[in-house]
Structure 1
Amino acid sequence: MERIRVCVVGATGFAGIEVCRLVLGHPNMELAMATDRKEAGTRLDAVYPSFAGACDLELSLPEPDTIAQAADVAFLAVPHTASLALTPELLKRGVTVLDLSADYRLHDPEVYEQWYNTPHTSPELLSQTVYGLPELNRKGILALAERRAAGQAVLVSVPGCYPTATALAATPALSAGLAGSDLVIADAISGVSGAGRGANARTHYCHANESVEAYGVAKHRHTPEIEQTLSEVAGRQMNVVFTPHLAPLTRGLLSTVYLEAADGVTAEDVQAAYEARFANEPLVTVLPAGSMPSTSSVFGTARAQVGVALDARRRRTIIASCAIDNLGKGAAAQAVQNANIVLDLPELAGIDMPAPLV
């Protein structure tokens, strides 16, 4: 099989370099180009010495014409709003785009402008974009695969890390009608790499080490994405209270959701609903009753682990936790999973690995 040429835009960020690492080990992909505006002209292995001997690419500027000449597929690991300028130009030139930013995740451009403080400059693409959470939306991604096979460049909007874990935690209860109200409370904890490669006062070592703190309380930008996804799953408007926390981990993310149980729902009903919903999902493991997931179990992987319980006291609450690697299933590995589906490759190609033992 001819190898698919890949460009990673924003290759020196944490998500971008993780995409590069996965593509280099992928049996059907070739890392043909990597870009970074600040590091253009520098070899990738000079920025990340661990790539010495594995990749001798020189970083380039992200020019659409150059990318289109070098690559069939582009992974955009760029800051929010940066994709708005580049994605339409790549699609016009026949390049399929996997966008890891938030620029095409929200269906309503007015909601996007409200949360990201900038107008959406290509709202016409929103109806053509598929939200790339395969466990919830495989049918839509497969439809993109058909369009691409017919010669059309397509766009996948790769979900954020917090929305991925929160959706996987809440979806079985919502889709099975086990929730008795429209309120979802989500508390999530992420490692510091989720904040990106550029350090700030909150994320440098002296502040983040030996400390856990809530941030973005009642205003985090992933809130409307989570709300949109869970409302679609439930088939009704869901209202989300989302609180993210920063923990002194390099990578890893745990999201715990709380939903009021509908009348008559038992712990056995909840466990059975979760096991049934993810029974055929190769990257999601539902743990046995009484077990809850840990981030170390999914470190460095594309996998997710989910545990669930019913607190029968007082308000009868479904409690579900999902652990993922924020750079794996929460970003790069999920992007590659989507690319595999769109490119008609085995879904787990290049990402089917367990967490390291130590």
Structure 2
Amino acid sequence: MERIRACVVGATGYAGIEVCRLVLSHPALELTMVTDRKEAGTRLDAFYPSMAGACDLVLVQPEADAIAAAADVAFLAVPHTASLALTPALLERGVTVLDLSADYRLHDASVYEQWYATPHTSPELLSQTVYGLPELNRAGLAALAERRAQGEAVLVAVPGCYPTATALAAAPALSQGMATGDLVIADAISGVSGAGRGCNARTHFCHANESVEAYGVAKHRHTPEIEQTLSEVAGREMSVVFTPHLAPLTRGLLSTVYLEAAPGVTAADVQAAYERSYANEPLVTALPAGQMPATSSVFGTARAQVGVALDDRRRRTIIASCAIDNLGKGAAAQAVQCANAVLGLPETAGLLAPAPLV
């Protein structure tokens, strides 16, 4: 098999180094370039000693011409707004882009500008971009694969960790008529690595340890992304009340959603809907009735687990939880899953390792 050359932009961040780890063990991808603006000139294994013996690449500046000469596909594990400066140039040079930032996830540039407080400098690309949540948008990824097979460089907007878990928790109820109304309430808990490698007062060990804290209440930037996805799934405009929480975990994310149950729907109906939705999904498991997911069960993997229950009292409510690894299915592993899809590879290539036992 001819190897497909891959560059990881922002390789020293937590999501970036996780992409590197997955690419290094991938059966069809070859890691040929790693970049970092601040650490250029440093070997990756000097920055992350765990890479010793696996990768001897030196970090370089993220320049479009150099990336195009060295790679067929680029994973952009960069902060929001940074992708805007690089993605158009890479596409023009024939490099397929998997963007892990939020810069191309929202369909409407004005919504992006409202929530991210910066102009969107390439809104013309939004209509060409596919939102890369494979379990909900496999047809879109297949269309990109056809375009790439015809010689076109394509762009995938890899979803955020909170939107991924929230969408996987809510989608079966919305798509199969189990839920009514236009409101989804989502409470989500993330490990500290979700904030990135840079430390601040909230993510400092002394602050985060032995504490759980809500943040970004009523204003978190992932809210419009979640609303966009759930509206498409439901076929009607949905509103989301989203409250994220920070927990003293290194990695892991659990999102629990609450939806109004449709009249006459039973617990057995809801359970069957979730089992149908994920029966043929290799990386998402609908747990048996009575079981709920735990982040430890998906730690370090590309997998998601979903559990659901019906509170059948005066206000009948569907309660569904999804556990993912925020750096796995919530970032790097999902990016690789999307890359597999658009590159014409098996979707699970390089992603089937189980969670560590301890």
Normalising by structure 1, we get a TM-score of: 1.00
Q: Counterpart in 2 of 1:243? A: 243
Q: Between the two proteins, what is the percent identity of the paired residues?
A: 86
In structure 1, what is the equivalent of residue 352 of structure 2? 352
2:41 alignment counterpart: 41
Distance 2:239 2:347 in 1: 33
Runs of 4 or more above 2 Å deviation:
none
One-letter identity of the residue aligned with 1:261: A
1:113-132, Cα deviation, whole Å (9 max, x unpaired): 00000111000000000000
Q: Distance in 1 between matches of 2:156 and 2:24?
A: 21
> 1:57 corresponds to which residue?
57
**Which residue is 2:92 aligned to?**
92
Q: Distance in 2 between the 1:166 and 1:276 partners? A: 18
Q: Match for residue 219 of structure 2? A: 219
Counterpart secondary structure, 2:225? helix
Question: Paired residue for 1:101?
Answer: 101
* Cα displacement (A) at 1:288: 0.5
Task: Tell me whether 1:13 sits opposite 2:4 in the alignment.
Answer: no
- Structure 2 distance, partners of 1:208, 1:351, is 30
Distance 2:200 2:238 in 1: 34
One-letter code aligned to 1:125: L
- 2:317 corresponding residue in structure 1: 317
What is the 5 A alignment of 1:1-358?
A: 1-358=1-358
Say which SS state the counterpart of residue 201 (structure 1) adopts.
coil
In structure 2, runs of 5+ residues without a counterpart are: none
Q: CA deviation at 1:213?
A: 0.3
**Deviation for aligned residue 1:178:** 1.3
Alpha-carbon distance in 1 for matches of 2:312, 2:146: 46
Deviation, 1:177, is 1.1
Local SS of the residue matching 1:231:
helix
Using the TM superposition, give the Cα deviation of residue 346 of structure 1 relative to its aligned residue in structure 2, in angstroms.
1.0
Partner SS, residue 18 of structure 1: helix
Q: Deviations over 1:57-109 (max 9, x none)?
A: 00000000000000000000000000001000000000000000000000000
Question: How far off its partner does 1:179 sit?
Answer: 1.1
Q: Residues of 2 paired with 1:54 and 1:236: CA distance?
A: 48
Paired letter, 1:285: T
Q: 2: CA distance between counterparts of 1:306 and 1:152?
A: 36
**Distance in 2, Cα, partners of 1:133 & 1:245:** 23
* Per-residue deviation, residues 305-357 of structure 1 (Å, max 9, x unmatched): 00000001110000000000000000000000000010011111111111000
Letter in 2 for 1:288: P
**Deviations 1:212-247, CA, capped at 9 Å, x for gaps:** 000000000000000000000000000100000000
Shift of 1:51: 0.4
How many corresponding residue pairs? 358
Q: How far apart in 2 are the matches of 1:144 and 1:278? A: 23
Q: What is the DSSP-based 3-state SS (H/G/I as helix, E as strand, rest coil) of the residue aligned with 2:321?
A: strand
Report how far residue 9 of structure 1 moved. 0.2
Instruction: Give 1:139's aligned amino acid.
Output: A
What is the CA distance between 1:275 and its match in structure 2? 0.4
SS in 2 for 1:54: coil
SS at match of 2:182: strand
- 2:77 corresponds to which letter in structure 1? A
RMSD of aligned Cα (Å): 0.4
Equivalent-residue separation in structure 1 for 2:168 and 2:82 (angstroms): 28
In structure 2, how many angstroms separate the alpha carbons of the residues matched to 1:316 and 1:211? 32
Q: Deviations over 1:244-266 (max 9, x none)?
A: 00000000000000001011010
